[in-house]
Structure 1
Amino acid sequence: MKFKGIIFDLDGTLVNSLEDISDAMNTVLTALNYPTHTYDDYQYFIGSGLRNLVSKALPSTNNSESQIETCFQNMVTQYRDNCTLKTKPYEGILDLLNSLSLKNIKLAIFSNKADELTKKIASEIFPDSFDIPVGLSFENLKKPNPFEAIAIAENWGFNTEEILFVGDSDIDMLTATNAKMFPVGVSWGYRTEKELIATGAQLVINSPLDLIRIL
């Protein structure tokens, strides 16, 4: 099978955004005199969208829907202004993207981060690298729902079997499987190799340039 396109997850796959996300949420918690969390804690909060992260970060005694919504809006405001302050591409990612562009491979991002923020990070850190950066617009389209991934394939005019789906989480591997794409896990992100394999990864790579060998 010749793969013609690659869909990447964003956080934990292309960029290490853990500190910016954590700092924004901790700012919200501190303003409310709630306990904050470490970066290690947030590593396991990331992956299912910022609203879900807010719910996990709030104390169980202050976790009503109205509280989650208020804190979510505050967190997004904090994060929007600082989402590329500490966020950086993982080592080897820029070299990988350059190599893929030379091979005329179509590239997209599909993230559970809000669409506005996904596009902002993609444009600031990876200008002109991705044909389609897509984030979360509606909760019911959140990964592992494959709707947006399949829409990307249709936009390109490719069969889903012709696309690699690369991510660092169980959610990404399930999305790839649901979309009938080839799931590739990355070992440098927020989940373990064991978790990735258990949820469908056909391969787990240890360095970005390892992806070139698959192609």
Structure 2
Amino acid sequence: MNTYKTIIFDMDGTVLDTLDELTESLNYILRKYQLPEKTKMQVRSYLGYGYAGLIRQAVPEANQDFQLELQDAFKSYYGSHCQGHTKPYEGILEILASLRDAGYKTAIVSNKGQAAVTELHKEFFEGLVQFSLGESANYKKKPEPDMVWEALRRLGSSAQEAIYIGDSEVDKKTADNSGLDSALVTWGFRDKPLLQSLHPDYLVSSPKELKHLFIPAR
């Protein structure tokens, strides 16, 4: 195993369980526009591609202008309703504290809008992770490498000493495009067989196992 100094995490499905909140917010917008609502499992399969990808998959029949309208409506609503049911996965906060105490540099990089990412960082990750970077006009979304490279720049790190941790094919592509090793977790928004087929450097089945990747058990 490589000796890493920097760990970059995806947010949704990796460190935060946001599925209930995203499903409720999406269905609120769909109801508002008299469109069919989606199940939680449907929404789970749509996640990973930012707000635009979520709307595109939820309402594929909508033309571009209508999709942009729905996207803006979702972004506005979710930005102020992103915290009610959202919670870290069990054991994640303890892992982040252990990584901090062990001297690792850590950041979160998400395709979720920066406003929501900032609010969630303040609520859950302040003092545990150095910063959380969300979608904005300044950087291309994942799986493009721009956001990861910006995180590395802010952390003063190189791709060779860093690993990217996520829960989907988007995260594997992001790691590959950024030149980072990858770890995929099985408790997020994709099923284990799909994750296995992506051949990440590490496939992690529990938060405890994730911790032991970086802090060996004594």
Normalization by structure 1: what TM-score?
0.94
Q: Deviations over 1:92-127 (max 9, x none)?
A: 101111111110111100101111211111111222
> 1:187 matched to which residue of 2?
186
2:126 match: secondary structure: coil
Are 2:53 and 1:58 equivalent residues in the alignment?
A: no
Are 2:66 and 1:67 equivalent residues in the alignment?
A: yes
Are 2:42 and 1:41 equivalent residues in the alignment?
A: yes
Identity percentage of aligned residues: 29
> 1:89 matched to which residue of 2?
88
After superposition, residues 73-152 of structure 1 pair within 5 angstroms as 73-138=72-137, 141-152=140-151
> 2:160 matched to which residue of 1?
161
Gaps of 5+ in 2: none
Alignment partners' CA distance in 1, 2:198 and 2:145? 15
* Cα drift, residue 212 of structure 1: 2.6
> 1:7 matched to which residue of 2?
8
Deviates more, 1:87-96 or 1:140-149: 140-149
Deviates more, 1:29-38 or 1:182-191: 29-38
* Cα drift, residue 59 of structure 1: 5.7
State whether residues 173 and 185 of structure 1, in contact with CA within 8 Å, keep that contact through their aligned partners in structure 2.
yes
- In the alignment, residue 65 of structure 2 is paired with which amino acid? S
Alignment partners' CA distance in 2, 1:99 and 1:166? 16
Q: Deviations over 1:170-210 (max 9, x none)?
A: 10011111111110000000112232233341111111232
2:80 match: secondary structure: helix
Alignment partners' CA distance in 2, 1:66 and 1:140? 22
Q: Deviations over 1:45-71 (max 9, x none)?
A: 1100012101211262xx111111111
Gaps of 5+ in 1: none
State whether residues 177 and 200 of structure 1, in contact with CA within 8 Å, keep that contact through their aligned partners in structure 2.
no
1:94 match: secondary structure: helix
Aligned residues: 213
Query: Considering only aligned residues, what root-mean-square deviation do their CA atoms show, in Å?
Result: 1.5
State whether residues 97 and 129 of structure 1, in contact with CA within 8 Å, keep that contact through their aligned partners in structure 2.
yes
* Cα drift, residue 139 of structure 1: 8.7
Alignment partners' CA distance in 2, 1:29 and 1:139? 29
Normalization by structure 2: what TM-score?
0.92
1:82 match: secondary structure: coil
> 1:198 matched to which residue of 2?
197
Alignment partners' CA distance in 1, 2:139 and 2:182? 22
